[in-house]
Structure 1
Amino acid sequence: MAVLKFRAYFEEDDAIYRDIVIKHTQTFFDLHLAILKSYEFDSKHQATFYRSNDHWERGREISVEKYDKAYRADPLIMAETTIGSEIRDPNQKFVYIYDFAKNWVFQVELINVTKEESSKITYPSTSRAEGIGPQQYGTRSLLGAKFVEIEEKYDLTKGSEGFGEEGDSNGSDDMVDDGEDTGGGEEE
C-alpha cells in the first residue's frame, strides 16, 4: 500500500510548513483533519481543496460538502474522494482553503511516495513541523502570553534601551536607608 507524504505550506510564509504522511486509500477529509490538527486549528469552519498545477492555479474542487455558491463543475466530496484517485503527477499540488471568512490558504504538495507503511504510525500523521504556525483566532507571539504579562508588569515600552540617563535623580536615591528592617534575620 502506498504512503504519500504531503508538505502543507502556510501560504503567507513558506518557511512554515507541516509534513503529513497518509495512505493513498484515505480520503481528502482525512487529509483535511490532519492539516488542521498539525496547525492546531479547530474543525468548525468550511473547507475545500483545489487540484492545482505547478503555478498553484486552482482546478477541480474537492469540498467538505456542496456549499451555497456558484460552481463551474460540481465539487467532489472530501469524504468520498480518496487521495490516490486525484494524484495526476509525482509532484501533485493542491490548494487548501479553510474558514472562508478568514481565508486560511495552504499550499499542499506531494513530496514523497513510499510503498511500505510503518506499523508504528497511525495514518494520517504529522511527520515534521517547521516554523511557528499562525494562531487561528488572534495573534501568536514567539514568547507567548507570558511575555505580555511581563511587558505590562515592567512596562518595557518606556525608554528604547532600558537605561536611564546619566545623573538621573533616581540613580542614588534608590540606595537610601529608610530605617526599615527588610526581614533579613530574626531579632533576639
Structure 2
Amino acid sequence: MAVLKFRVYLEEDDSIYRDVAIKHTQSFFQLHQVILKSYEFDNKHQATFYRSNDNWQRGREITLEKYEKRYEAPPLLMQETLIGSEIKNPSQKFIYIYDFVKNWSFLVELIGVTKDENSRLEYPAVIRTEGIAPSQNGTKGLMGHDKLSEVEEKYDLLIGTEGFGEKNEDGEDLPSEESGEASGEEEQ
C-alpha cells in the first residue's frame, strides 16, 4: 500500500511547515484532520482543498461540504474523495484553505511516495514539525501573555528606562556597587 508524504507550508511563511504521511487509500477528510492537528487548530470552521499545478493555481475543489457559493464545477467532497484518486503527478500540489473568515492558506506538496508502511505509525501521521505554528485566534509566541506579565512584574522592566547608566550632577558616571567603589573600599 502506498504511503504519501506531504509537506504542508503556511502560505505566508514557508519556514513553518509540517510533514504528514497518509495512505493513498485515505480520504481528504483525514488529510484535513491531520493538518489541523499538526498546526494545533480546532475543527470548527469551513475548509476546502484545491488541486493545484506547479504555479499554485487553483483547480478542482475538494470541499468539506457543499457551501452556498457558486462553483465552476461541482466540488468533490473530502469524505468521499481518496487521496490517491487526485494524485496526477509525482510532485502533486494542493492548496488548503481553512476558516473562510480568517482565510488560513496552506500549500500542500507531495514530497515522497513509499510502498513501505511504518508499523509504529498510525496513519495519517505528523512526521516532522518545523517552526512555531501561528495561533489560530491571535498571536502566539514562546511565552503566553500571562507569562510575559509575570516577567514584567518580576524584573520591573520600567525601572531605569530613561538611560542606560546613572550620572552625577556634573554628568560623570557614578561608580557601580559591584566594583566596591561606592562603599569606599579600595583595591590593594
TM-score (structure 2 length as normaliser): 0.84
Percent of matched pairs sharing the same residue = 67
SS at match of 2:74: coil
| One-letter code aligned to 1:90 | P
**1:10 and 1:105 in contact (8 A); partners too:** yes
How far does residue 147 in structure 1 lie from its aligned partner after superposition? 2.6
Q: Which residue in 1 is equivalent to 2:35?
A: 35
Residue 125 (1) aligns with residue 119 (2): no
CA distance in 1, matches of 2:150, 2:42: 26
CA distance in 2, matches of 1:47, 1:92: 19
Q: Which residue in 2 is equivalent to 1:165?
A: 166
CA distance in 1, matches of 2:24, 2:90: 13
Q: Which residue in 1 is equivalent to 2:98?
A: 98
For 1:1-188, list aligned pairs within 5 A. Answer: 1-145=1-145, 146-156=147-157, 163-167=164-168
TM-score (structure 1 length as normaliser): 0.84
| 1:53-112 CA distance string (max 9 Å, x none) | 111110000000000111001110000000000000000000000000000000000000
Structure 1 unmatched ranges of 5 or more:
173-188
CA distance in 2, matches of 1:106, 1:98: 8
Distance verdict in 2 for CA 1:68–1:158, change over 3 Å: farther
CA distance in 2, matches of 1:109, 1:133: 18
Distance verdict in 2 for CA 1:25–1:57, change over 3 Å: same
How far does residue 134 in structure 1 lie from its aligned partner after superposition? 0.6
| One-letter code aligned to 2:166 | E
How far does residue 137 in structure 1 lie from its aligned partner after superposition? 1.0
Runs of 4+ deviating beyond 2 Å: 142-145, 151-169
CA distance in 2, matches of 1:70, 1:157: 55
CA distance in 2, matches of 1:161, 1:89: 62
How far does residue 135 in structure 1 lie from its aligned partner after superposition? 0.4
CA distance in 2, matches of 1:81, 1:152: 54
How far does residue 38 in structure 1 lie from its aligned partner after superposition? 0.2
SS at match of 2:142: coil
Structure 2 unmatched ranges of 5 or more:
178-188
**1:54 and 1:93 in contact (8 A); partners too:** yes
| One-letter code aligned to 1:125 | A
| One-letter code aligned to 1:37 | K
| One-letter code aligned to 2:96 | Y
| 1:120-152 CA distance string (max 9 Å, x none) | 100000000000011001101133331343125
CA distance in 2, matches of 1:150, 1:17: 30
